[in-house]
Amino acid sequence: MTTSSSRPRIAIVGYGSQGRAHALNLRDSGFDVTIGLRPGGPTEIKAKADGFTVKTPAEAVAGAELVAVLTPDMVQAQLYTDVIEPNIAQGACLLFAHGFNVHYGQITPRADLDVVLVAPKGPGALVRREYEIGRGVPSVYAVYQDKSGKAEQFALTYCGGIGGARQNAIKTTFKEETETDLFGEQAVLCGGATKLVQAGWETLVEAGYQPEVAYYECLHELKLIVDLFYEGGITRMHEFISETAQYGALTRGPYIVDEHTKAQMKKVLTEIQDGTFARQWIAEYKAGNANYKAMKQADLDHPIEATGKKLRAAMAWLSTAPQPATQPASATAANTAAKTEQAAA
């Protein structure tokens, strides 16, 4: 990719949570940013209100030296085939925020392109907020294809533009980013945590305890522990919980998460590594998502949700507290970014 300066012209395709944060941060860092969106959609109105030049995805891609694909995973393959590949300039840089499609062979980038990844470890609203106050959300970056010999520098330049380089950016690979991100979401952050909370609540309610009290103990107070983890790891948790809680955790925690649990985690990882999960998810999406929708609805209909809705209505601070870090993403999956939180272009 040839550029007239160290700051390439950038097209952001997609304007969801991550897309908007990246675009605003890059513009504030002095980059020339154009947004590529389908005409007439709500994200087009939002991008124009933010003062951006908005073009069709094909037009935005054609005029860019770096194209950032910030749409949901499941629409990216067709977007690449129909719009990006026919229009992206020879020798340009193609950037992703999640390696799913490249790693699992849904997208085979043109041989003349630099192909990189920059993935902030946080939802888009947090990426924007941290940038605005002079900090940055930690990011990982990777190079998949280095045609120009400068692909890594382009990734780091972009990472710096969104604020990620203010924290020591970690170099990774498309394989490592994709597989660890999926594992974290499935085994711990989303799948594991949800099932643990639901099972704990069910156990107490089935034993005759009030569902409201069970909600506080198994879901509501989880935030207190997660905040301690976030601030200082397991060490900080031990500093702030009682000795009774510590002893109970140390002696009974292994009842819940034992060698069988770890074996199941290894199964989850194997199915990510060998492509089983990706094939299932791609097939599910192509078939219309009937199973996915049914499973999601079952989660939403779990009785803990009705209990929580009633209790949260009395928590006035929830309606006035900042919301960005809890907006769905992805999950980056914090990151589920760049994944679930992204709106379609």
User: Binding site, residues?
Assistant: 15-18, 38, 43, 124, 181, 185, 217, 221, 242
Do 156 and 200 lie in one domain? The reply is no
Taking only the tens of pLDDT, the chain with its 345 residues reads 444 447 899 999 999 999 999 999 999 999 999 999 999 888 999 999 999 999 999 999 999 999 999 999 999 999 999 999 999 999 999 999 999 999 999 999 999 999 999 999 999 999 999 999 999 999 999 999 999 999 999 999 999 999 998 878 999 999 999 999 999 999 999 999 999 999 999 999 999 999 999 999 999 999 999 999 999 999 999 999 999 999 999 999 999 999 999 999 999 999 999 999 999 999 999 999 999 999 999 999 999 999 999 999 999 999 865 554 433 333 333 333 333 333 334
Q: Tell me which residue has tokens 């026919």.
A: 86
- Binding-site residue ranges for Mg(2+): 181, 185, 217, 221
Number of structural domains, the chain?
2
Residues 6+ apart with CB under 8 A from 24: 50, 128, 131
CA distance 107 to 87: 15
Among residues 98, 220, 238, 260, the one annotated as catalytic is: 98
Tokens of 185: 């979401």
Regarding whether 196 and 112 lie in a shared domain, the answer is: no
Instruction: From residue 176, give the alpha-carbon distance in Å to each of 78, 94, 345.
Output: 24, 19, 26
Annotation: binding site for NADP(+): 15-18, 38, 43, 124
What residues form DSSP beta bridges with 336?
333
In contact, 46 and 196? CB cutoff 8 Å: no
The answer to whether position 271 is within a domain reads: no
Residues 224, 91 share a domain: no
Shared domain for 235 and 129, answered yes or no, is no
Q: Could you tell me which residues are beta bridge partners of residue 68? A: 12, 95
Regarding whether 134 and 194 lie in a shared domain, the answer is no
Q: How far is residue 329's CA from residue 17's CA, in Å, rounded to a whole number?
A: 8
Give binding residues for substrate as ranges: 242
Torsion angle defined by CA atoms of residues 41, 42, 48 and 52, in that order, rounded to the nearest 10 degrees: -80
| 22 a catalytic residue | no
**Are 141 and 242 found together in one domain?**
no
Q: Are residues 75 and 154 in the same domain?
A: yes
Range of the domain at 64: 10-172
